[in-house]
Amino acid sequence: QSVLTQPPSVSGAPGQRVTISCTGSSSNIGAGYDVHWFQQLPGTAPKLLVYGNNYRPSGVPDRFSGSKSGTSASLAITGLQAEDEADYYCQSYDSGAWVFGGGTKLTVL
């Protein structure tokens, strides 16, 4: 069982907006630790998508955005595209360890 909780799956039609939640606790996200998000396309390594709660690395489209409030964080994807179909993971820090969410599979209908 992961320290950070994500929904197993979300879905949306092309062009729609979807959000993926990441729920933590007072010992990780609620302690003020940063949240980062990764995208893992089928058969590939994870790719850093959002860092420091709401910053995008160079090359990541602005359709992807992160937010954090209290003990939770969210990843929003607008203008959904077929190529966004992937697994998404949140990551933070807790009690001396980097921790990940269990992952959310995004299906583009």
Partner 1 sequence: QVQLVESGGGLVKPGGSLRLSCVASGFTFRDYYMIWIRQVPGKGLEWVSYMSHTGGTIYYAASVQGRFTISRDNARNSLYLQMDSLRDDDTAVYYCARIIVARIGEPSKYQFDLWGRGTLVTVSS
Provide the binding-site residues for partner 1, judged by CB under 8 A. Answer: 2, 33-34, 36, 38, 44-48, 51-52, 57, 89, 91-93, 96-98, 100-103
Rounded to the nearest whole angstrom, what is the least distance from the CB of residue 43 to partner 1 in the complex? 9
| CB-nearer residue toward partner 1: 13 or 95 | 95
| CB-nearer residue toward partner 1: 51 or 64 | 51
| CB-nearer residue toward partner 1: 77 or 90 | 90
| CB-nearer residue toward partner 1: 32 or 83 | 32
Q: Please tell me the distance from the alpha carbon of residue 53 to that of residue 74, in angstroms, as a whole number.
A: 9
The type of residue at 94 is D
The type of residue at 40 is Q
Q: Copy the structure tokens of residue 44.
A: 């590939």
**Tokens 């933590």 belong to residue:** 24
Rounded to the nearest whole angstrom, what is the least distance from the CB of residue 14 to partner 1 in the complex? 26
Cα(first)–Cα(last) distance of the chain, in Å?
28
Measured between alpha carbons, how far is residue 29 from residues 37, 43, 52, 90 in Å? 13, 29, 11, 11
Rounded to the nearest whole angstrom, what is the least distance from the CB of residue 57 to partner 1 in the complex? 6
Q: Copy the structure tokens of residue 58.
A: 């160079």
Rounded to the nearest whole angstrom, what is the least distance from the CB of residue 26 to partner 1 in the complex? 14
